[in-house]
Amino acid sequence: MDFLIWLEDVGGLGTFVRESPSILGYPTFIVLHTLGLSTVVGTSTLVGIRVLGFADSIPLPPLERLFPVMWAGFWVNTFSGSGLALATASGQFTNPLFLIKISLVIAAVLCMRQLRKKVFLDPAVVAGGEPQAGKALAATMLVLWMFAMIAGRLIAYSGVIIGR
């Protein structure tokens, strides 16, 4: 716990987010986090539902171009989320909902990577075939993103939920 308190007080990104009197602090980081989340989850959802067989009139191979957009959203979220978490490190890193959220995000990102390998690097899919091997990954990724978002939103209410 001492380390987490030190992280809050060290005078870096977390302090800036927490104590900045300008709009560049907390409000900007919350907006960036929302934009990053909507980008990574939105594009992942588009790819995921297509891999599952919905909207099969949309050709699958061109959707691979969305992966750099997903990664851009992920890195915006990583930066903004780090600032938000460091601003209240002693509360966040000991909060079970925060730890669940981070675990779900890591699992969703790993699914996202595997989905690209299994589907978009498969010669049969590139030639126009359906991605049978990727359907379970796509469904898992969508479920993980959904629960990561729910856990993230519930962090604001963790005092009520887990008695903090």
* Helix pair 96-115, 135-154: axis angle to 10 deg: 160
> Of all residues in the chain, what percent carry a pLDDT higher than 90?
46
Tell me how far CA of residue 130 lies from CA of 42, 53, 116, 124, in angstroms.
Answer: 22, 8, 14, 8
Least confident of 25-29, 33-37, 108-112: 25-29
pLDDT digits (tens, 9 = 90+) for 82-122: 888 888 877 788 889 999 999 999 999 999 999 998 888 77
Amino acid 112: pLDDT: 94
136: which residues sit within 8 A by CB, 6+ positions away? none
Q: Highest mean pLDDT range out of 9-18, 28-37, 77-86, 112-121?
A: 28-37
Q: For the chain, first and last CA: distance in Å?
A: 16
**Residue bearing the bigger pLDDT, 39 or 94:** 39
Is 126's pLDDT higher than 70?
Answer: no
Is 146's pLDDT higher than 80?
Answer: yes
Is 58's pLDDT higher than 60?
Answer: yes
Amino acid 161: pLDDT: 55
- The alpha carbon torsion through 154, 5, 87, 70 (nearest 10 deg) reads -70
Across the chain, what does the average pLDDT equal? Answer: 85
Is 160's pLDDT higher than 60?
Answer: no
Q: Is the pTM of this model over 0.75?
A: yes
